[in-house]
């Protein structure tokens, strides 16, 4: 136990007296550790966490890493009635906790759910909230699927206290129709009157949410919903100012991109839908400028910070070699879903390295639509997207390197059949055959990278990584970066990565100086 504590202290680079002896608080710090990046095997790290948990239990009650007690007769009967393995996984901890606490199925109440939640949070599980969500979801399923399951409803956590948006049914029919008409125009329902560039479903949903937020804000400030008869009532300068003021109160009176998008949406409606006079447009433009954050050229500091580790060659090698290392790990696993998911993640990382596309395009890759073989050789594969599929309407074509193609072929032949039902053409399929959601795939990619390298990297950062690597190798090669990332204009690329290549340019210059010092001066 003492050794485990010393190891944790060393990994967290802290003094022991500065670390809280609280499982709940310490768990947050433990999740910052990537054992593989510290040269530690998963088994060794699991052992350290187990010993640390036992140490903390000496100070007071602490949830065990795994409940190993037997189930009580009542819970055992329900366990035997469950057929779905997912239900048993989701409910095992809950059922053993209740059995140990002497809580039989008929004694379950909302209060016992709270006791279980508190027990989870007092442990040092990697993700207690995730375990709680899984148990809550499995409980709801068991109520429908398991005969004799307690009919007690597990209360859903309350929504955010500051959430105030009302449903559209709270507003007048005329406002709802006007909103739908504007969305139909942006969607391109009528070819003759549609917007020049129809918007995607996600953009339309965002606009609808903003309009509902503005309408709700006005009602919260005392406006009678019946007086909001159409979009013209929402874009009156006084109404816009009142709605923005409420949102500013929620953000500490600070401008931000969300407020700027809201003001931009209202300005566009006033100009293109309502036909507001020039004086009104000037006032709305002024309001938009007031709530818009100051724009800086170049990359935001958060992304710069996440790219700084790649100034070290070791970090670059760790990321570039990760797909092949994951493949080796999968080969050592028993053939099955776990190995297949590992190779699937390896392929996703590999594709982001050689074709830094957006996560939406990555998750939606269709084998028959997006992967083409222009020649007779199976080693020739091109990843392509039509302009309608890309955010900025740019056609993308990425000829894949041989290393990538070999990984792709192995995945398609050996591992994907274990994940995809018959008839599915999704490269990254869900159980029902459709493409994985971008959020689920993105989280898996980020977690895998952190686990094996210690690097904090989300899928979109691969685009910045690509720009950094290219500009490091060839300072000033913004046109290459533009083509790789599919930017519409060179100005966009230069604005996004201004300063990125400065360190590389300085290193090139320093090498020039050293060469001149070592006899390279002209005679």
Query: What mean pLDDT comes out for the span 7-26?
Result: 80
Reported as a single tens digit per residue, the pLDDT across 57-71 is 787 655 555 556 789
Residues 6 or more apart whose CB falls under 8 angstroms from that of 506 comprise: none
pLDDT of residue 163: 60
Query: What mean pLDDT comes out for the span 381-386?
Result: 92
CA-based nearest residue to 262, from 283, 241, 233, 277: 241
What's the CA angle centered on 38, arms 32 and 43, to 5 degrees? 90
Reported as a single tens digit per residue, the pLDDT across 140-198 is 999 989 999 998 888 877 655 546 788 899 999 999 999 999 999 998 888 777 777 78
- Residue entry with tokens 């500091």: 301
- Can you say whether the dihedral through the CA atoms of 157, 158, 163, 168 is positive or negative? positive
With cut-offs at 50, 70 and 90, classify the pLDDT of residue 413: very high
434: Cα within 13 Å, side-chain hemisphere: 4
Write down the pTM of the prediction: 0.68
Domain boundary assignment for the chain: 2-57, 73-145, 168-291, 304-462
DSSP 377-405: STT--EEEE-GGGSTT---EEEEPPHHHH
DSSP 136-177: HHHHHHHHHHSTT------PPPPPPTT--PPPGGGS-HHHHH
Q: Please, what is the angle between helix 128-145 and helix 110-121, to 10°?
A: 150
269: left (phi over 0), alpha (psi -120 to 50) or beta: alpha
Q: Is the CATH number of domain 304-462 1.10.10.10?
A: no
Reported as a single tens digit per residue, the pLDDT across 292-332 is 877 666 677 788 888 888 988 999 999 999 999 999 999 99
């Amino acid at each position: 136990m003492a050794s485990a504590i010393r190891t944790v202290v060393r990994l967290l680079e802290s003094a022991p007296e500065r670390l809280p002896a609280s499982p709940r608080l310490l768990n947050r710090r433990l999740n910052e550790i990537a054992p593989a990046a510290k040269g530690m095997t998963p088994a060794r790290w699991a052992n350290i966490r187990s010993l640390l948990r036992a140490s903390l239990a000496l100070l007071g009650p602490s949830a065990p890493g795994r409940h190993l007690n037997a189930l009580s007769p009542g819970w055992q009967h329900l366990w035997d009635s469950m057929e779905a393995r997912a239900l048993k996984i989701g409910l095992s901890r809950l059922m053993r906790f209740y059995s140990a606490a002497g809580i039989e199925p008929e004694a379950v109440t909302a209060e016992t759910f709270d006791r279980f939640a508190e027990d989870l949070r007092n442990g040092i599980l990697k993700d207690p909230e995730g375990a709680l969500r899984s148990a809550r979801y499995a409980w709801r399923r068991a109520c429908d699927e398991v005969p004799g399951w307690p009919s007690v409803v597990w209360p859903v956590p309350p929504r955010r206290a500051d959430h105030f948006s009302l449903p559209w049914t709270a507003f007048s029919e005329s406002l709802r129709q006007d909103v739908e008409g504007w969305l139909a125009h942006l969607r391109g329902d009528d070819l003759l009157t549609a917007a020049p560039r129809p918007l995607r479903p996600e953009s339309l949903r965002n606009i609808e949410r903003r309009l509902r937020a503005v309408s709700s804000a006005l009602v919260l400030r005392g406006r009678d919903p019946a007086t909001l008869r159409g979009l013209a009532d929402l874009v009156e300068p006084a109404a816009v100012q009142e709605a923005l003021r409420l949102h500013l109160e929620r953000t500490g009176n600070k401008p931000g991109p969300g407020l700027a998008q809201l003001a931009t949406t209202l300005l566009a409606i006033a100009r293109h839908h309502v036909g507001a006079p020039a004086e009104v447009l000037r006032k709305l433009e002024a309001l938009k400028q007031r709530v818009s954050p100051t724009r800086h050229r170049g990359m935001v500091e958060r992304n710069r910070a996440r790219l700084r580790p790649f100034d070290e060659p070791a970090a670059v090698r760790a990321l570039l070699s990760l797909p092949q290392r994951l493949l080796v790990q999968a080969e050592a696993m028993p053939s099955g879903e776990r190995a297949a998911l590992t190779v699937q993640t390896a392929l996703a990382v590999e594709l982001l390295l050689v074709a830094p596309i957006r996560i939406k395009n990555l998750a939606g890759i269709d084998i028959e639509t997006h992967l083409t073989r222009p020649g007779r050789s199976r080693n020739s594969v091109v990843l392509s997207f039509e302009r309608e599929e890309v955010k900025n309407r740019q056609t993308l074509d990425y000829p894949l390197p041989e290393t990538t193609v070999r990984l792709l072929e192995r995945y398609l032949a050996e591992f994907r059949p274990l994940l995809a039902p018959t008839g599915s053409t999704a490269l990254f399929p869900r159980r029902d055959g459709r493409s994985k959601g971008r959020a689920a795939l993105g989280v898996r990619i980020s977690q895998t990278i952190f686990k094996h390298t210690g690097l904090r990297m989300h899928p979109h950062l691969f685009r910045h990584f690509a720009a950094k690597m290219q500009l490091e190798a060839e300072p000033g090669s913004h046109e290459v970066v533009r083509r790789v990332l599919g930017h519409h204009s060179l100005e966009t690329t230069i604005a996004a990565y201004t300063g990125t290549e400065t360190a590389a340019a300085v290193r090139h210059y320093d090498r020039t100086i050293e060469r001149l010092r070592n006899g390279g001066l002209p005679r």
